[in-house]
Amino acid sequence: MPPIRCYQVDAFTDRPFAGNPAAVCLLDEPREAAWMQSVAAEMNLSETAFVRLTGDAYELRWFTPRIEVELCGHATLASSHALWSEGIESSEAPIRFQTLSGELTCTADGDLIRLDFPSTPVTEAEPPAGLLEALQTRASFVGRSKFDEFVCLDSEKTLRALQPDFVRLRGIAARGIIVTSPSENPCFDFVSRFFAPAAGINEDPVTGSAHCALAHFWGGRLGKTEMTGFQASERGGTVHVRRSADRVVLGGRAVTVFRGELASEASS
């Protein structure tokens, strides 16, 4: 069996050791979901992407250390960056990925990578029992997107000071919890944090797919179609967004941190 090439890429950043790290594994043949889940648990990053060429597009699947997910922005950005930077694909042409969320297209735009994703609008809703208590905060708005609970706070200072009770958050029946506020920095339109202990990630460094909801929410409030968000995790990361009726284009940069391959014992 040929070796399986793997890369670790920091996404939504222009420098190493920031943004959100993702593992990218390039497959030559189909693999069982249980094996992919074991590899993702071994990598122990918020997402591991598995990429396999099928005709003129790539099959793309994403796994956290615990579960397979339907949509992931930073690991998609990392996958396209790996294919282009390693010379596997030409950056002059878009890359098409077939995923659990349909076809996703990635395009190189200077030093930015643009990801064409489905919008996940936010609908106002009552907070699930225990959500605000687990976040230990008050909210100016609570809603829900296709995947996540959504909480808006009045200030960036409050958002940055959050110290959630992750044990209690794990009981919330959603992929994760998006918490957002207006930005105090004029370089950004909004800031956010993302918590997903039920998926094995207490706090995700930068969550591209969450911006499919954030773009819809803040675009409506600010009257804008193009915005820049900052995810205020410890590592931090910048996500450019452009929204339309049912799509969101996410823009970000990426940096390869290391290259390697799975040992034969782990590949079989």
Confirm if 59 and 98 have CB atoms less than 8 A apart.
yes
Catalytic residue (one of 42, 47, 126, 203) = 47
Alpha helices in the chain (DSSP H): 33-43, 73-85, 131-135, 156-161, 166-169, 211-222, 264-267
Residues 6+ apart with CB under 8 A from 199: 64, 66, 67, 69, 175, 176
Question: What's the pLDDT at 35?
Answer: 97
**For residues 190-213, b (16+ Cβ closer than 10 Å) or e, as one string?**
bbbbbbbbbbbbebbbbbbbbbbb
Q: Stretch 249-268: mean pLDDT, rounded? A: 93
Question: What's the pLDDT at 265?
Answer: 85
Reply yes or no on whether 89 is catalytic: no
Q: Stretch 118-132: mean pLDDT, rounded? A: 96
pTM of this prediction? 0.94
Tell me the DSSP string of 12-27: S-SSTTSSEEEEEEEE
Does the pLDDT of residue 1 top 90, yes or no?
no
Q: Convert the pLDDT of each residue in 197-222 to its tens digit.
A: 999 999 999 999 999 999 999 999 99
